[in-house]
């Protein structure tokens, strides 16, 4: 169980911020080589706040060692998010944290299962974009957002997993696209149990993961300010294993990370070929799959500079963990509050992806 504490109150004495990091050239992950550069910080979706953490500390005890935390975001402690009622809708913490660089500024995109959705300017914490349209007081988890993606246009896509039993979001609005600067979605499509969204800049497609389906969508911008999602059936495919949970790019490879309930795959988009555990449906293995592919993986991300992979693997019934796992080389980080384990849902590298 998580400890109900004021993370930002505990960190006030630290008053630290992390300088935005520039983009770097893509590099494919190499399983048998040490990283050639220093690893970036780590961002985790702790159950009270987003935390950016020191990659050089194996133990993050953010009460005893507040300097381990370089930046934290809790909308209950800053202005600008009152219309999203964070006292209620942030109360179980975030489901996502993605970092972008757009127009020379750094942004962190986040959502919670209760419908809080925002793109936050870093380090100021000011809202760049937000919506209250996914908050449903009559049915708390009618949408149940699990992931979010900021597009180069400033548009925002959100993956809503819907109710746990059915995977159906309200009015079949599982994947929603919000026009630039607009809090109301212009297009939503059905994708049961949608858990991941990822923009593919090369193909100009939005990928979305739900259950055993990996869908690709083009965006029709024929009507100004009203972009529409249209499935590209030539690219959409079935995942070899169900319970799709996380989706992201494998930098420099033309592949996607696809984490499911048990195996973690790589999908080569051009070759339409699955890599990973061949006993679970993959056609070939990828280097180091035995380390990365763990049952209950909630997030998987490759740092484009070092090639290191970081994962979060659930260790309890709440589907959270207190350990971030680094691969190639192997290492662990553990999160604590005053000596007690503190839990988070996802862990990613804090290396902004330059999108425009």
Q: Using one digit for the tens of pLDDT, what is the confidence trace for 239-249?
A: 999 999 999 99
| Residue 137, number of CB atoms within 10 A of its CB | 11
- Which positions ≥6 away from 100 have C-beta within 8 Å? 106, 107, 108, 109, 150, 352, 353, 354, 355
Closest CA to 180 of 152, 215, 219, 153: 153
Burial class (CB in 10 A: 0-12, 13-18, 19+), 228: middle
Q: Taking 70 as the threshold, does the pLDDT of residue 3 lie above it?
A: no
The pairing of beta strand 213-220 with beta strand 205-210: antiparallel
- The pLDDT mean for the chain works out to 92
What is the rounded CA–CA span in Å between residue 201 and residue 216?
Answer: 12
Q: Taking 60 as the threshold, does the pLDDT of residue 290 lie above it?
A: yes
What CATH architecture does domain 7-354 belong to?
6 Propeller (2.120)
Q: Taking 90 as the threshold, does the pLDDT of residue 81 lie above it?
A: yes
Contact 230, 130 (CB under 8 A): no
Domain boundaries defined on the chain: 7-354
- Which positions ≥6 away from 225 have C-beta within 8 Å? 179, 182, 186
Confidence band for 36, pLDDT divided at 50, 70 and 90: low
- The strand order across the sheet containing 105-111 reads 127-131, 117-122, 105-111, 98-102, 353-354
What is the rounded CA–CA span in Å between residue 252 and residue 149?
Answer: 19
In this prediction, residues 8-28 reach a mean pLDDT of 37
Q: pLDDT digit string (tens) for 197-213?
A: 999 999 999 999 999 99
Q: Taking 50 as the threshold, does the pLDDT of residue 225 lie above it?
A: yes
Look at residue 37 in the predicted model and tell me its pLDDT: 86
Q: Taking 60 as the threshold, does the pLDDT of residue 33 lie above it?
A: no
Look at residue 30 in the predicted model and tell me its pLDDT: 42
| Residue 295, number of CB atoms within 10 A of its CB | 11
> What is the sign, positive or negative, of the torsion defined by CA atoms of 103, 23, 99, 73?
negative
- The answer to which of 23-32, 254-263, 278-287 has the lowest mean pLDDT is 23-32
């Amino acid at each position: 169980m998580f400890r109900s504490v004021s993370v930002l109150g505990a960190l006030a004495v630290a008053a630290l911020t992390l300088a935005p990091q520039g983009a770097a050239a893509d590099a494919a992950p190499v399983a048998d080589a040490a990283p050639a550069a220093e690893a970036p910080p780590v961002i985790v979706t702790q159950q009270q706040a987003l935390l950016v953490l020191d990659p050089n500390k194996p133990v993050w005890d953010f009460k005893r060692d507040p300097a381990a935390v370089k930046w934290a975001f809790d909308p209950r402690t800053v202005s600008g998010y009152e219309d999203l009622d964070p006292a209620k809708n942030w109360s179980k913490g975030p489901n996502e944290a993605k970092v972008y660089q757009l127009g020379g500024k750094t942004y962190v995109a986040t959502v919670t299962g209760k419908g809080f959705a925002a793109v936050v300017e870093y380090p100021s914490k000011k809202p760049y974009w937000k919506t209250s349209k996914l908050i449903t007081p009559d049915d708390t988890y009618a949408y149940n957002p699990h992931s979010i993606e900021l597009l180069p246009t400033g548009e925002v896509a959100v993956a809503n997993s819907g109710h746990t039993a059915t995977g159906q979001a309200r009015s079949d609005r599982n994947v929603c696209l919000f026009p630039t600067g607009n809090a109301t979605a212009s297009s939503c499509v059905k994708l049961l149990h949608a858990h991941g969204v990822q923009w593919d800049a090369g193909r100009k497609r939005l990928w979305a993961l739900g259950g055993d389906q990996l869908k690709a969508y083009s965006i029709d911008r024929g009507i100004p300010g009203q972009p529409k999602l249209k499935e590209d059936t030539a690219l959409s495919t079935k995942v070899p294993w169900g319970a799709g949970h996380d989706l992201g790019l494998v930098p420099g490879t033309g592949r996607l990370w696809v984490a499911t309930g048990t195996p973690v795959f790589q999908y080569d988009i051009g070759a339409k070929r699955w890599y990973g555990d061949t006993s679970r449906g993959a056609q070939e293995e990828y280097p180091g799959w035995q380390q990365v592919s763990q049952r209950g993986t909630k997030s998987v991300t490759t740092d484009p500079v070092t090639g290191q992979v970081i994962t979060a693997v659930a260790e309890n019934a709440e589907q959270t963990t207190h350990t971030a796992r680094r691969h190639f080389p192997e290492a662990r980080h553990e999160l604590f509050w005053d000596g007690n384990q503190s839990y988070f849902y996802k862990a990613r590298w804090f290396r902004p992806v330059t999108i425009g």
